[in-house]
């Protein structure tokens, strides 16, 4: 299943079309893309039954520039940095350094196709895998982790390096949270999606980055 935020409404994405969830469910699920995570299991079951048994309502073509962030108002954002040796080396950390956990403040989140006003000439960017957690996850066993995952998407982690490095010690969160410094999307892919699904994250003028997700079945 792929879900997206189309002009502020939750949609199922099927091929190149969008099915409005509030309409297709007869109001059983709300239009607000954030609200669905409060009843994620019920929504997932409903969506699966749409795929399998019911005739899927006809979708409507849509434009990528009308998509907002698939998770528009997460209650918290855990950003994991320095999480592999090559990146630790590049950032000047010892190779055995513990990963750092910072945040990108939720007000920086944007859809996959947005304009970013650069606050300085030292804006950097990194492509990230984004994991949306559907419900409380505290002291979860490794083998139960996928059970808490609603879906996956791609994000850009934009950083303004001057303010990040201005203090006596580097600080991550604020310098990574200017307006639109957190593009995400285009959609959220549930872990049951077939192997080989590719999400593309593109930065105009910089190049094209592709990122491939391994679904739960193969993890």
Q: Which residues bind a second copy (CB under 8 A)?
A: 73, 75-76, 78, 82, 93-94, 97-103, 105-107, 138, 166-171, 173-174, 179
Question: Which residue lies nearer to a second copy by CB, 15 or 115?
Answer: 115
CA 217 to CA 193: how far, in whole Å? Answer: 9
Smallest separation, CB 196 to a second copy (Å): 34
- Residue 86, SS3 per DSSP: helix
Smallest separation, CB 82 to a second copy (Å): 8
Smallest separation, CB 193 to a second copy (Å): 28
String of DSSP letters for 144-194: GGGGGEEEEEEEE--EEHHHHTSSSS---TGGG-STT-EEEEEEEE-TTSP
Question: Which residue lies nearer to a second copy by CB, 29 or 178?
Answer: 178
Long-range CB pairs of 51-60, under 8 A, 24+ apart, other chains included: 51/1, 56/14, 56/19, 57/19, 57/23, 57/24, 58/17, 58/19, 59/12, 59/13, 59/14, 59/15, 59/17, 59/18, 59/19, 60/17, 60/18, 60/19, 60/20
Q: Which of 124, 19, 15, 110 is nearest to 65 (CA)?
A: 110
CA 26 to CA 9: how far, in whole Å? Answer: 14
Question: Which residue lies nearer to a second copy by CB, 17 or 163?
Answer: 163
Question: Which residue lies nearer to a second copy by CB, 54 or 162?
Answer: 162
Smallest separation, CB 204 to a second copy (Å): 25
Question: Which residue lies nearer to a second copy by CB, 17 or 164?
Answer: 164
Smallest separation, CB 184 to a second copy (Å): 16
Smallest separation, CB 67 to a second copy (Å): 21
Question: Which residue lies nearer to a second copy by CB, 50 or 134?
Answer: 134
């Amino acid at each position: 299943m792929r879900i997206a935020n189309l002009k502020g409404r939750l949609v199922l994405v099927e091929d190149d079309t969008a099915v409005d969830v509030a309409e297709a469910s007869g109001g059983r699920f709300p239009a607000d893309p954030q609200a669905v995570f409060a009843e994620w299991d019920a929504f997932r079951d409903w969506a699966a039954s749409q795929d399998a048994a019911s005739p899927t309502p006809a979708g409507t073509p849509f434009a990528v520039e009308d998509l907002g962030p698939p998770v528009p108002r997460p209650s918290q954002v855990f950003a994991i940095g320095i999480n592999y040796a090559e990146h630790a080396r590049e950032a000047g950390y010892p190779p055995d350094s513990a990963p750092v956990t910072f945040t990108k403040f939720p007000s920086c989140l944007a859809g996959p196709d947005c304009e970013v006003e650069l606050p300085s000439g030292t804006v950097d960017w990194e492509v990230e895998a984004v994991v949306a957690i559907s419900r409380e996850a505290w002291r979860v066993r490794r083998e139960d982790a996928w059970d808490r995952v609603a879906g996956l998407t791609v994000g850009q982690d934009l950083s303004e390096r001057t303010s990040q490095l201005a203090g006596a010690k580097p600080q991550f969160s604020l310098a990574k949270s200017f307006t639109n410094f957190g593009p995400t999307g285009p959609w959220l892919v549930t872990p049951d999606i077939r192997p080989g699904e590719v999400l593309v994250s593109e930065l105009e003028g910089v190049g094209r980055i592709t990122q491939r997700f391994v679904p739960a079945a193969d993890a």
